[in-house]
Amino acid sequence: MGEIFETVNRLRTVRVHNLSPQSNRDDHIRRQAFIWLVQNGGGNPIDWPVCCRSLCVQVRSAIEHLIAKWLDLVASEDASSAVEDLLSAIDREWPPHAFDRILEAAASHIGLTGLDCVKYRESRLKYWRELVGYFERREEAEAAIRSAIRCELEHLFESAAARSRQSGHATAER
């Protein structure tokens, strides 16, 4: 079932994002999406209506599976604690883009320009999620991760940020 969610994400990524031709990761995503399209829409050119039907069938199957699991779960005697656990897990799961705005704000705060925030976030995501996991409430985790990211950027890039600020001031003075 997890594979269909990966497929949807790959297809969305290829369609929505500008993938770098120099990135091995982006190339892998592009290739995997193309393989799925060929396998599920056949040939060249791709038969888009066939691909869409195939995607809908696979997504529907995954949703039906999740509904069945959910109904089994809430039918049990321990349903309320299961629902609480699920809500807690949802609150603790931070999608990658949730860190982007925090990272962008921290870079701006220290005057760091030109940082590829997505690329930097990808290298730090596992660690940042680990840090977030130390907190019980999302608000506490968000405040802490803001501070941690800002301190991290200051530690790693303070001199680069200072140069960016100086070149910005020099340009403004001209």
pLDDT above 90 (res 161):
no
**C-alpha distances in angstroms, 79 versus 71, 83, 93?**
10, 6, 21
What was the pLDDT predicted at 92? 73
**C-alpha distances in angstroms, 45 versus 48, 49, 59, 65?**
9, 12, 23, 32
**Segments making up each domain of the chain, as ranges:** 2-75, 92-173
pLDDT above 70 (res 1):
no
Contacts of 166 (CB under 8 A, 6+ apart): none
Provide the token pair at 44. 């060249």
Provide the token pair at 12. 């969305």
Q: Model confidence over 27-56: pLDDT tens digits? A: 899 999 999 999 998 777 888 899 999 999
The whole-model pTM stands at 0.54
